[in-house]
Amino acid sequence: MSEWKFYGRREQLADLERILGRERWFFAKVTGRRRIGKTTLIHQAMREFGLDRPVFYVQIPDSEPAGVLSAVNDALETFQAPPDRFPRPFDLLQLAKLLEAMAESGFILVLDEFQYFNRKGYEEFCSYLQASVDRLAAKAADVRGGLIVLGSLHTEMVALLEDRMAPLYNRVTDTIHLTHLDIGSILAILEDHAEPFPDRLLFLWNLFEGVPKFYRDCYEQGVLAADRRTLLHRIFFESSSPLRSEAENWFLRELRGRYDALLKFIARNPGRMHNELVSAIRDASGNSDTQVGGYLKVLIERFGLIERKLPVFARPQAKRGRYYITDNFLRAWLAALANPVSAIAFRPLDELINEADQRLADVEGGSLEKLVGQLYEERSRKGIGDFPLSHRVQGYWDKSDTEIDLVAVHEPTETIRFGACKRSPKKLLADATQFQGHVQRFLQALPRYQSWTKQYVAIAPALTAEHRAVLIRHDIIPQDLTDLTQGLN
């Protein structure tokens, strides 16, 4: 088995090389959802560009100050920081002074889960840390150390570092935000450790999107190249499975059980409107006063787990929004995996894996549309492919007789491309004769595009020569995931 490498993130690594190469005080913020690779990025940067500077890393627990101080003291022992030079802190003021002294001594300080300092009880610490940061900044040229704070809750990090009333406001010198690995990096993983077959790409991306930790879990379990059922069995259904409790330990623990029913309903019923959510949650809770609106606001603005889409032709202030889970893993878990995994002790294992696999296949239809949209954007960004993008028209179709899965626009040449995406090539062919009717209804609603050059494309995970011939006879461009991933890696 070939060795696991560091994949993607070259732009972010270049940013860190620049930050470390200045060899002066810095205060960097690195944000991104859990498991996205923030700590791994810092580790890789220190390996490549650390210039032999000492590193001190500590993961801040979600606990009272005593728990934080205990974690720091444990980390000091792990990194063999001598007590005579760096006395162990016994309160939050001493912790701030410790960090200041270590930075002056050339340490790169990495505080993971920094957002927990936004909890009640840490207001004084933020003020203490502000004073230390200001002293370090005042003599920045003489300080070779720096502070890197990592955070997975965006709004908490904003409150700590960007709110004008916060003690640490305007102290950050550098910001890096990590998103999912791009599809080219996922293809590189598959080419090194499996085969990037279209069905495998869709299956894995539907489960893990661009979260590198999950692909590495599969690699370490030896199932990245396995069939669907084998991978599901090893990764989710055994007592030692690495992702068996991932959702609860990661998403749902942070939410403290308040939003489970709402998230589960949206995952299993994507695209429902507000009144439908209210009715379903009130029925499930037996409480007619349940305030769904407040829950939605928190899940959208604070945690970024839900998005609200408007009708394609609607104005931004329209109220007819529909709600969707943003994260592939959470959606796949709640819609397809949670129930079968929870029933391991009571039902035959093969039956549960079959059930989970079928539910995942049902979810993959929506994931294919999302994957295709990202492939178009990534190909355009990298200057490859046959359609440079100015933008995509996005939203949901509020007219039941209209369904277009991709609307790609190239303003300079006044070209617009309409796409249909289906997991089944047979369904794609069956809809071919109806597709231009959908497009005509779109053009009636947005007449500015009527004079543009119009292209039609039909997309499935894999298309045969016979499928392609039928589509071409209907003046439709055939594309599959092999076409759309060519040249990305």
For 67-116, write each residue's pLDDT tens digit. 999 999 999 999 999 999 999 999 999 999 999 999 999 999 999 999 99
The amino acid at residue 197 is F
Asked if pLDDT for residue 316 goes beyond 80, the answer is no
Question: What is the full DSSP assignment across 308-340?
Answer: EE-BTT--TT-S--EEEE--HHHHHIIIIIHHH
- Between CA 200 and CA 222 the distance in angstroms is 15
Domains of the chain, each with CATH number or no CATH:
10-177 (3.40.50.300), 372-485 (3.40.1350)
Return mean pLDDT, the chain. 92
Angle ∠(380,459,413) on CA atoms, nearest 5 = 40
What average pLDDT does range 305-310 have in this prediction? Answer: 92
Asked if pLDDT for residue 479 goes beyond 70, the answer is yes
Query: At 328, phi and psi to the nearest 5?
Result: -60, -45
What single-letter DSSP state applies at residue 88? P
What average pLDDT does range 278-282 have in this prediction? Answer: 87
* This model's pTM is above 0.85: yes
**Encoded tokens for 138:** 């005042």
- Between CA 205 and CA 212 the distance in angstroms is 11
**Encoded tokens for 224:** 């990245």
Angle 212-220/198-208 helices, nearest 10 degrees?
A: 120
- Between CA 9 and CA 19 the distance in angstroms is 15
Q: Are the beta carbons of 85 and 32 closer than 8 angstroms?
A: no
- Between CA 475 and CA 160 the distance in angstroms is 55
**First CA to last CA across the chain, in angstroms?**
21
For 195-208, write each residue's pLDDT tens digit. 999 999 999 999 99
Nearest alpha-carbon partner for 188 in 224, 221, 230, 232: 224
Split at pLDDT 50, 70, 90, the class of 402 is confident
Nearest alpha-carbon partner for 263 in 275, 251, 273: 251
Asked if pLDDT for residue 324 goes beyond 70, the answer is yes
What does the pLDDT read at residue 1?
67
Contacts of residue 146, Cβ cutoff 8 Å, sequence gap at least 6: 19, 20, 25, 26, 27, 28, 103, 108, 109
For 149-168, write each residue's pLDDT tens digit. 999 888 899 999 999 999 99
Q: Give the pairing type, strands 406-410 and 108-112.
A: unpaired
Long-range CB contacts (within 8 A, 24+) of 284-288: 285/261
- Between CA 488 and CA 189 the distance in angstroms is 12
CA separation, residue 80 to residues 19, 58, 93, 110, 452 (Å): 25, 13, 22, 15, 67
Split at pLDDT 50, 70, 90, the class of 253 is low
Nearest alpha-carbon partner for 251 in 308, 305, 177: 305
Q: Largest alpha-carbon pair distance within the chain? A: 80
Q: Are the beta carbons of 196 and 50 closer than 8 angstroms?
A: no
Q: Are the beta carbons of 137 and 146 closer than 8 angstroms?
A: no
